[in-house]
Amino acid sequence: MEMIKQPLGHNITCLDAQYVHPGIASIYLLEQDAKLCIIETGTAHSVPYILAALEAQGRSAEDVEYVIPTHIHLDHAGGAGELMQHCPNAKLVVHPRGAYHMAHPEKLQAGTMAVYGEETFRQLYGTLTPIAEERIIQAEDNHEIDFHGRILRFMDTPGHALHHFCVLDSLSKGIFTGDTFGLSYRQFDEGGRNFVFATTTPVHFDPDALLSSIDKLLALKPRQMYLTHYCAIQTSQENIAQLKKSVQAFVEIALAAKNSGENRQRLIEQQLLEWIVKESYSINNTLSESERRRIVATDARLNAQGLEVWLNRLEPKARGV
């Protein structure tokens, strides 16, 4: 079991969740007065890496005070229940809209299993473990936690998911953005620039809300964005513009395919993949074409699924939803 982690300053460590492959999903460990706060949990399969990382820092699971998934999508919160069982002193901090599912994950598990099938579900996520309600703190917009003098402020950020918050950290002046500030894989980095694009995964994608949430984060003038997918980036005029442009482009691709009948989702997926790959050349000139496609193929598929759900929401009568 090889642990992959990177210190980021301000007592923040980025730990790889080892979700599908390394380099895809991050978990952040914040240490203050020998106590720990863990932002994002990865899946149940990520928990052994978290425990090993604590041990490597000379800490134990008893030192964990907060476990904070930015939203309840399973690459962010799938391991929360399992992790909470190992951390007897920890409270879970979650968006009010996600709290019920963390205490009663049966429906979340059944729903995801219906999409992936049981075998793939187990491979990807393991098992969802319920968390006792009295251990759950529901963080409304602007809720603050004083983590040993370090203030964590929770901001409601719908657009990717209705159960999504971002966390502003007073020490680093950075924001743990979950999926709100998009996806940015380090393989695309070149010359200090990075490639960022939006994630529209099912089932709550709302472009206007997402753009407002992005502006809400930027208004705080963060020094850095701690993305879940993947690790920390600095904001720049370039990557902010790129992220917003991708929201627009994905919406346009979906709307243009609106009347394509049964092949609609597949068509959207193909066009998203082409758009993302093409745009990536504006930042990176060294990766091979096949490598680019490999890195973003899953995101193009998930984004297409989310845009399909969004289109269905726009036309409820025609589709009988």
Summarize as ranges the residues that interact with Zn ion (CB under 5 A).
Answer: 73, 179
CB of 72 to Zn ion, least distance (A): 9
Phi, psi of 208 (to 5 degrees): -65, -45
Q: Which is nearer to Zn ion, 61 or 157 (CB)?
A: 157
3-state helix, strand, coil in the chain (%, to 5): 45, 20, 35
Q: Which residue has the tokens 């036309």?
A: 315
Q: Which is nearer to Zn ion, 30 or 74 (CB)?
A: 74
Q: Which is nearer to Zn ion, 38 or 287 (CB)?
A: 38
Q: Which is nearer to Zn ion, 287 or 300 (CB)?
A: 300
CB of 70 to Zn ion, least distance (A): 8
CB of 75 to Zn ion, least distance (A): 7
CB of 93 to Zn ion, least distance (A): 17
Q: Which is nearer to Zn ion, 179 or 299 (CB)?
A: 179
CA-to-CA separations, 86 to 47, 61, 83, 226, in angstroms, rounded: 9, 6, 5, 25
Helices (H), 59-156: 74-77, 80-86, 96-103, 106-116, 118-125
CB of 71 to Zn ion, least distance (A): 6
Give Cα 69 distance to the centre of its chain: 9
CB of 257 to Zn ion, least distance (A): 23
Q: Which is nearer to Zn ion, 52 or 211 (CB)?
A: 211
In the complex, which residue's CB is closest to Zn ion?
73
CB of 280 to Zn ion, least distance (A): 21
Q: Which is nearer to Zn ion, 73 or 292 (CB)?
A: 73
Among 263, 199, 207, smallest CA distance to 230 is for: 199
CA-to-CA separations, 19 to 26, 135, 227, in angstroms, rounded: 9, 26, 15
CA-to-CA separations, 222 to 68, 92, 177, 226, 232, in angstroms, rounded: 19, 25, 11, 10, 12
d(C-alpha 29, C-alpha 16), whole Å: 11
Give me the long-range contacts of 210-214 (CB less than 8 A, separation at least 24): 210/158, 210/159, 210/160, 210/180, 210/247, 211/159, 211/244, 211/247, 212/159, 213/157, 213/158, 213/159, 213/160, 213/164, 213/166, 213/180, 214/159, 214/180, 214/181, 214/240, 214/243, 214/244
CB of 237 to Zn ion, least distance (A): 26
Q: Which residue has the tokens 């990176």?
A: 284
